[in-house]
Amino acid sequence: RGKPMSCFVTEKKAVCKVGEKMAAFYVFDTPHGVYLRPEIKLVDDWIKVAHRGDDK
């Protein structure tokens, strides 16, 4: 948590540099926003990366 993260994202996968490590993620576009889920158990939670415009 709290480490800078940069990602190369395609429609279904993302490869991210988290701190000094590289990690692969699955991309999920949901009604609530876009999330990344690690391919290997890196963190317990999905990472929300974008909101939907209709959040109230």
Which residues partner with 36 through β-bridges? 27, 47
Distance CA(53)–CA(38), nearest Å, equals: 25
**Structure confidence at residue 14 (pLDDT):** 92
Distance CA(56)–CA(49), nearest Å, equals: 17
Domain boundaries, the chain: 5-51
Nearest to 54 by CA among 31, 36, 27: 31
Q: What is the pTM of this model?
A: 0.62
CB 12 within 8 A of CB 27: yes
One digit per residue, the tens of pLDDT, for the chain of length 56 reads 567 778 898 889 999 887 888 889 899 888 888 888 888 765 556 666 766 666 54
**Structure confidence at residue 7 (pLDDT):** 87
Output the six-digit token pair for 21: 């490590």
